[in-house]
Every structure is written in C-alpha cells, then in structure tokens.
Amino acid sequence: MQYVKIAIKRFTAMANRLMLLMESRIHGNMYVRFGGRSAETCCRKAVRRRKPSLLFITTFTVVDKETKEKIKYDDYKQLSDDEKQKYAVYPKLNVYNVFNVDQSNIKEARPELYAKLAEQNILKKPELNGEAFSFEAMDRMIRDNRWICPIKLEHQDNAFYSISKNQITLPEKSQFIDGESFYGTAFHEMTHSTGAEDVLNRLKPSGGFGSAEYAREELVAELGSALISQRYGLTKHLKEDSAAYLKSWLQSLKESPEFIKTTLVDVKKASSIITQKIDGIQLEIDQEQKEAAEQKQAPLKDLGTYDIPEWAVNYLENGDITDLSDEEVNLVDEFVRKQFPNGFVMNVDWDNVNELNSYPAFGERNTKALTNRGESPYLATKTYGVQFLDPKLRETKEYESSPHLEGIVAEEHQLQNENIWHRAR
C-alpha cells in the first residue's frame, strides 16, 4: 500500500528552490507530499509539530484549436512555431503542502522508504581541505579556460568581473579561508559574466556602482551563487556587502512586485549556463575515472599460447578466408570450437616465429608419419606464437603487485583499443 507520494527529488523550479533553501540547510533536500487516508500514519508527526512549506508547480494543458484533442506539453515544445499556432495552451498553478522528510516519522514508519530516499539524495561533495581542496570540474574549467570568459587567479584581495575586458579576476585559492568560499565567490563572478552582451545581455551601461541596476545585478549574482552552491553540496557564505544593497532590493520590490519574478528569471538563466558547463566537464571526469578503474581490473583469463600456422593467422585475426581451402577453414573452425567455445581475444607474438614447425596447433596431416612412433603427425609449417584470452572472464589471483601482470593489463587494453577480433562459437 502506498503511504506517500514523492512530490520532488530536487528543487528545479527557481521560486521553489529559493523558498525551500533555508529549510534544506537544516534538514536536507528531501521533501515529500502526503496523500490518501493511509498517509495519515506517516504524516501525523509532521502535521502536529511542523508547518508545511508551499510548493508551486505549473502544469500546462495543450489542446488542438480545431479537433479539441489534447497532446503532451513535452510534445508541444518540440513543434515548430507554425505548428504551435494550431494549439491553445492553458497553464494551471498547482500548490502543494510539502514536508521535509526529517520533519515526519517516515524514518520510523517506513524505514525502507527512508533509506531509499536517503540513497537517492546523497550529494557528492568536492574535497575542500586546506590548500589541497578541489572541485575538479571547476578547477579544470579555470585551468583549461573553458568558461565563457577567462578566469584569472592572482595573488591580490579583490574578486571582480570586468565588462570591458570580459574577464573574471579572483584571488588565489590559498587566500580563502576554505574551499567553499573560493567556489562561492567564483560562482558569483561567473553569474555576473553571463550578463555580457553576447550571452544574456543583462548588464546595462547605466548600471554603475550605487544605481538600482547595479544593486539588482548583485542580487542576481548572490542568488545564482547560492543556488549553484546548493546544487553541488557546498555552503554559500553571503558577501559582507550584500546588506548594503538590502534597502534597494526592498524598495524595488515595494515599487514593483514584478521585481522578484524578473530577477528570478535572470537567476535561472544564468545558473543554468553555469551548471550545464560544470556538469559537462564532470561527465568527462567521470568517464576518465571509469576508464582508469577499468585499466586497474585483473587481466583477461589466459587460455593458453599456441603455435598457429601462418596461413591461419589472418582468418583467426579478422575472418579473412582469402586463399584458404575449405579443408583449411574447417581445420581452423574445429580448433576454435574445441579450444574456445566461449570465443577469444588473440595476441600474436610476431617475434615468436618458427620457420619449420613440425608440431603446430593444427594443420595438414603427415600421413606417412602416422605409423611411426615419436614422429610428428603434421606436415612441418611456419608458425607464430599466439596467446588466446577469454573475452569475458578475468584472472582471479592478485595482480596489482606484479609488474608482469600489470604489463599484461596494459597490453590487453592496447589490443582492445586496436579492435583485436574475437568470435564466439
């Protein structure tokens, strides 16, 4: 029986994120909405002892103006501008009471659900210890100049974005009291830089220091920095000079209620640009770490080394049967079926050559020698030593401390990168 309905996993709507930001600092970012009679058991603690937060979710109903048929809003967004003219869009604002998970008794009433929610909402925080602290995606962005403008680190005391130079200047990491302060400051200045004319065109020429436009831009940068920090599990320390702009912000809000709405729209646009860039770099880092971890795996299981006739190497390596007779193809296929029923990866040792090998792994029979004990049953032929590996199974013994086996791992990955052919029978 379902006790709760999960309303959100992360705060995606900008207004919701701001309203819940303060509570999430205390309880975390897991919120639930309770519904149905059976939910009373779980929500009783929250209803009696805690006040809910409000969550606003806007849904859209899309209706064909002629046929009155409805389509999904996601499908509507994929239409061209001309196609959209055929539909009417009706927005609906839904308001929900949501409680932080730790405000409820879900942990006691539904421990398995609480554990699942906790696992889904674990934040992987960057390392922030002394001078060695590191948010690798951000560090790489700065080092490789991958932001929309250069970010220069200098040993000085000011952090700022220069509109004329289109450049961010920050103090060095070691000058900050902790890593979170450094990255929070970087997010603040990066938010400013999204207002450049060729990006979001938010910065106004008349918006000099002390003006209402300047104060509003500081609000956009501070909110953007706070939300980005929260997304990556960092604590945002408010700038000391933010209080100086408070009077201007309140006055603007009093004169125009639209002030907060337009400001939040700008915050959302700016923070989206920043998080998309960081997430893209993080994906690269995750892929690199995955490949590095794979290289540390045990080598593929060794199936043995065989003296393979020269004429058969091409067929085993890439399936080329050129110049092979049907009998020779059958000899190779029979060898593979018998020795490697699960397929193989092969490594030819071109230095291990025997110009006249009377004992190849397979080959043409020496009918004259069959009755003579101790003589080879095969005709002598040129062979190469070929190592065969299982394409899936790996060695189970310890290998990390063995230089020899580490070399096998490196060679194995080199072979796979060269698309060494294998087949299953």
Note the pLDDT tens digit of each residue in 199-253: 999 987 766 776 778 888 988 998 899 889 988 888 776 666 665 565 666 666 6
- Give the angle 307-309-314 at the CA atoms, nearest 5°: 115
What is the mean pLDDT of the segment spanning 66-80? 90
Which of 269, 293, 317 terminates a domain? The answer is 293
Sheet holding 381-394, edge to edge: 300-309, 381-394, 345-357
Q: Does 265 share its domain with 364?
A: no
Q: Does 313 share its domain with 375?
A: yes
Number of CB atoms found within 10 A of residue 288's CB: 11
Nearest to 149 by CA among 97, 99, 94, 192: 192
Beta carbons of 267 and 203 less than 8 angstroms apart = no
Strand partners, 306: 386
Q: Does 155 share its domain with 231?
A: yes
Q: Does 169 share its domain with 200?
A: yes
Nearest to 260 by CA among 399, 251, 55, 97: 251
Q: Considering the domain boundaries, does residue 232 fall inside one?
A: yes
Q: Considering the domain boundaries, does residue 76 fall inside one?
A: yes
Q: Does 76 share its domain with 102?
A: yes
Q: Considering the domain boundaries, does residue 125 fall inside one?
A: no
Q: Does 284 share its domain with 400?
A: no
Number of CB atoms found within 10 A of residue 262's CB: 12
Helix H, strand E, coil C: the string for 139-155 is: HHHHHCCCCCCCEEEEC
Nearest to 408 by CA among 416, 353, 422: 416
Q: Considering the domain boundaries, does residue 161 fall inside one?
A: yes
Q: Does 109 share its domain with 193?
A: no
Q: Does 356 share its domain with 251?
A: no
Which of 263, 293, 323 terminates a domain? The answer is 293
pLDDT, tens only, 138-150? 999 999 999 999 9
Beta carbons of 178 and 135 less than 8 angstroms apart = no
pLDDT, tens only, 322-370? 889 999 999 999 999 999 998 999 999 999 999 999 899 998 887 776 5
Q: Considering the domain boundaries, does residue 259 fall inside one?
A: yes
Q: Does 134 share its domain with 269?
A: yes
Q: Does 307 share its domain with 286?
A: no
Which of 255, 277, 293 terminates a domain? The answer is 293
Q: Considering the domain boundaries, does residue 411 fall inside one?
A: yes
Q: Considering the domain boundaries, does residue 236 fall inside one?
A: yes
Q: Considering the domain boundaries, does residue 423 fall inside one?
A: no
Count how many domains the chain has: 3
User: For residues 223 and 262, what is the distance between their CA atoms, to the nearest angstrom?
Assistant: 13
Tokens of residue 117, six digits: 């929610």
Q: Does 308 share its domain with 273?
A: no
Residue 178 Cα distances to 131, 152, 282, angstroms: 8, 19, 22
- What residue ranges in 288-413 does DSSP mark as E strands? 300-309, 345-357, 381-394
User: For residues 288 and 79, what is the distance between their CA atoms, to the nearest angstrom?
Assistant: 37
pLDDT, tens only, 296-313? 777 888 999 999 999 999
163 pLDDT more than 50: yes
User: For residues 365 and 378, what is the distance between their CA atoms, to the nearest angstrom?
Assistant: 4
50 pLDDT more than 60: no
Tokens of residue 371, six digits: 């009755």
100: containing domain: 4-120
Q: Does 148 share its domain with 286?
A: yes
